[in-house]
Amino acid sequence: MTTTTAFTVPIGERYFEDYHPGATYEFGTAGFTETGIVEFARRFDPQSFHVDPDAAEDGPFGGLVASGWHTASVLMRLFAEHYLSTVASLGGPGVDELRWLKPVRPGTTVRLRVTVLEARPSRSKPDRGLVRTLAELTDQDGDVVLRLTVLNFLRCGPSLTRNL
């Protein structure tokens, strides 16, 4: 596997053929604060261990932790900002195998790591392909806190579509 910190092709020029199976990339960071954790959870996941630092001390995690949906939202932001093409993305059929592996606490900083698992041309629409990506958030200690597999449809680049 190849590991790098950036694509050689800028996100605004990236097409299906620029996603190579086996390639791994790491980029972007985001931090979690107590205020951010509580604000997100009050709106979307109001469980005591997400919204009440005092109650969380006696909860299952021994302190305040971010909602898994908060960490998934952060992953999606980093995924869109750094990995997913801004010119070729056509959405996708969804996410598979989502796992929250380690609680995220206030003060945690995460980084996105993606590995292209598969990139195959569409059988029915030759102007696009399907990219299956393993996406992980790692914390400042290098531990994986969230792992999921994402499926995306991407347009082929102008040179490929002209030859179809």
pLDDT tens-place string over residues 3-41: 565 678 999 999 999 999 999 999 999 999 999 999 999
Q: Looking up tokens 């952060």, which residue turns up?
A: 74
Residue 158, pLDDT > 90, answer no
pLDDT tens-place string over residues 144-155: 999 999 999 999
* Superfamily name with CATH number, domain 2-162: Hotdog Thioesterase (3.10.129.10)
What string of DSSP letters covers the chain? -EEESS-SS-GGG--GGG--TTEEEEEEEEE--HHHHHHHHHHH---HHHH-HHHHHTSTTSS----HHHHHHHHHHHHHHHTS-TTTB---SEEEEEEE-S---TT-EEEEEEEEEEEEE-SS-TTEEEEEEEEEEE-TTS-EEEEEEEEEEEEPPHHHHHT-
**Is-contact 108 142, C-beta < 8 A?**
no
pTM of this prediction? 0.92
Residue 118, pLDDT > 50, answer yes
Q: Are strands 23-31 and 2-4 parallel, antiparallel or unpaired?
A: parallel
Domain regions of the chain by residue span: 2-162
Tokens of 18: 């620029």
Report the percentage of the chain scoring pLDDT > 70. Answer: 93
Tokens of 89: 């993305």
**Quick check: helix, strand or coil at residue 131?**
strand
Q: Which residue from 10, 1, 27 is spatially nearest to 116, judged by alpha carbons? A: 1
Q: What is the pLDDT of residue 4?
A: 61
Looking at every residue in the chain, the average pLDDT score rounds to 93
Weakest-pLDDT range from 8-12, 111-115, 140-144 = 8-12
Q: What is the pLDDT of residue 57?
A: 97
Q: What is the pLDDT of residue 159?
A: 74
